[in-house]
Amino acid sequence: MKKEKTLTLKSLTKSNVWDIQENDVFRLWEAAEKNSDLKDNQRHYIDVIKSAFNIEEVKIDKPEVIAKYEARGFKTGLVRLDDSNKVKWAIKKKPIMRVTDLTYENIHHISASKLMEVLDRNFGGGWESLSQSIQDIISSGFDISTTTLPKDRLHKAGGLYEKKVNDGYEVLEIAKGSWIEAIFAKEKPKMEKVRMKFDDKNEADLSDDDNDDDAPEIVDHYNDVDDDDDAFDDDKLTEESYRTTFDTNPDDLNLTDVADDEDF
């Protein structure tokens, strides 16, 4: 039976920090207050937490001030930053709203449908309008493919669109005149997640060696070959023959007499 991993402030990383919520931060910090090395490492812990949360110190601890923080979606709580004094923090999970909010750390913590919302909200120029660095981040967590077809061809029965949707892909359609670019996204397979529990008794029970032994292995799928790339698909070849690699509106090119599938 796989050993259950205990999540503590010491084992928190800039990746798994996206799995916890505001109240969990306070719980982990409170558990860590029992450890003598908290003061020496608190800068590191705060940096990790700040990678996924906005933190503000509440300097005026009055009900009306707390109410304003809560109205903005913050949770408040006390944390000990030295041997005697506690300060009040207001904490809020950072939203992922724009493509620039995506990182290698959080890309594995959003769904394909959430990714499509982010893409739809941030651009209208298609997949190629994204910077290479953003494409690389997205591709590290999702299988991505695109096709650009005339409107009346995109949803052809038995075509690429239908096959991708049936295979569990989320799709975003971007209008380009009388043509449409379809972006397909599906989460890449993940290794089995290690179950985590919160240790409220004594965080010091986990030595650094134990953490290293229990840490899940990170599997890099970045350079994996897409299975679809090895398979010859007549329908896919036909539809991707319509792909455009230029920025000009297809309507302005006076494209006529698009060949039917059987002509290829």
Tokens of 215: 């840490």
- pTM given for the model: 0.66
Pairing, β 5-7 against β 196-198: parallel
Furthest CA-CA distance within the chain: 80
Separation between Cα atoms, residue 140 and residue 224, nearest integer Å: 10
Alpha-carbon separation of residue 79 from 29, 86, 88, 202, 242 (angstroms):
7, 5, 6, 17, 59
Q: What is the pLDDT of residue 36?
A: 77
- State residue 56 phi and psi, 5-degree precision: -125, 140
- The pair of three-digit structure tokens given for residue 77, joined into one six-digit string: 């709580």
Q: What is the pLDDT at residue 83?
A: 66
**Local confidence pLDDT in tens for the 264 residues of the chain:** 444 568 899 999 999 999 999 999 999 999 998 887 888 889 999 999 999 999 999 999 999 999 999 999 999 999 988 766 889 999 999 999 999 999 999 999 999 999 999 999 876 778 999 999 999 999 999 999 999 999 889 999 999 999 999 999 999 999 988 999 999 999 998 754 444 454 544 444 433 444 444 444 444 444 444 444 444 344 444 444 444 444 445 555 454 444 444 443
